[in-house]
Amino acid sequence: MNKKKKAELILKTLNKIYPTTPVPLKHRSKFTLLVSVLLSAQCTDLNVNNVTKSIYPKYNKPEHFVKLGRRRIEKLIKSIGIFRIKAKSIYLMSKQLIDNHSGKVPKTFEELEKLPGVGHKTASVVMSQGFGYPAFAVDTHIHRLAQRWGLTNGKNVVQTEKDLKRIFPKKTWSKLHLQIIYYGREYCQARNCYGLTCKICTNCYPNRKNPIETIKA
């Protein structure tokens, strides 16, 4: 099966299972979305949501976090992994938004990626889920599934993103990013499917016998 056929099969399967794709990170604005995505690195969405539900009602603007300062931000997010690094990024990012963007979240990749703690993946999520711009935020989980499904042989998320954008129509990118994440969590888990049991893996590779070893991003 060539990549075009695989893409059609994958889209059909995912659209049937996940006709709607709610944003998993709870947020109140583009700024709180940006903060939540930054917090989600090496952390589950559930943990982020549990922490931010007591933060955002009171602190939800760059000015709030600058006034809090790094130490107080650390205390608010201390149950999240690498919280000290993230607190520093949130503080410096908030300060830069005030100094350079009038407290508003910029709506270009270039400007977003200049913010402290914001890489391409974080910028892609904000552009997609915050501004509705077609973007394909590839994390380690999407990278793993794309390899299992024979859509890329890229050794990193940068190459995988390029490959997926070539294969799938631009209009599907934002929704598809979330669909793949949901599917990976539910059906094609790292230590469960191994490329052998889920519906997409078996349909794409009905004769596959051995577990697939994926290249970590």
pLDDT at 31: 98
Q: Strand, helix or coil at 119?
A: coil
pLDDT at 1: 81
Residue 52 shares a structural domain with residue 121: yes
The domain total for the chain is: 2
Measured between alpha carbons, how far is 114 from 72 in angstroms, rounded to an integer? Answer: 24
Measured between alpha carbons, how far is 181 from 176 in angstroms, rounded to an integer? Answer: 8
Residue 69 shares a structural domain with residue 140: no
Domain end residue (candidates: 106, 130, 154): 130
The predicted-structure confidence for 42-98, as pLDDT tens digits, reads as follows 899 999 999 999 999 999 999 999 999 999 999 999 999 899 999 999 999 999 999
Average pLDDT over the chain reads 94
Task: Judge contact between 168 and 5, C-beta under 8 A.
Answer: no
Per-residue tokens: 188: 């094609």
Q: Which of 5, 30, 53, 139 is catalytic?
A: 139
In a domain, 16, yes or no: yes
Domain span at residue 180 reads 3-21+136-204
The mean pLDDT of 14-41, rounded to a whole number, is 96
Residue 43 shares a structural domain with residue 126: yes
Q: Is 121 a catalytic residue?
A: yes
* CATH number for the domain harbouring residue 17: 1.10.1670.10
Burial of residue 203 (number of CB atoms within 10 Å: 0-12, 13-18, 19+): middle
Q: Taking Cα atoms as reference points, which of 142, 139, 117, 137 lies closest to residue 127?
A: 137
Torsion of the alpha carbons at 26, 31, 37 and 43, rounded to the nearest 10: -70
pLDDT at 148: 93
Q: Does residue 217 register a pLDDT over 80?
A: no
Reported confidence tier of residue 2, pLDDT bands at 50, 70, 90 = confident
pLDDT at 12: 97
33 or 214: which leads in pLDDT: 33
Residue 88 shares a structural domain with residue 50: yes
Q: What is the CA radius of gyration of the chain?
A: 18
Q: Which of 6, 86, 121, 175 is catalytic?
A: 121
Q: Is 139 a catalytic residue?
A: yes
Q: Does residue 216 register a pLDDT over 80?
A: no
pLDDT at 141: 87
Question: pTM score, two decimals?
Answer: 0.91
In sequence order, what are the residues at sequence separation of 6 or more whose Cβ sits closer than 8 angstroms to the Cβ of residue 131? 30, 107
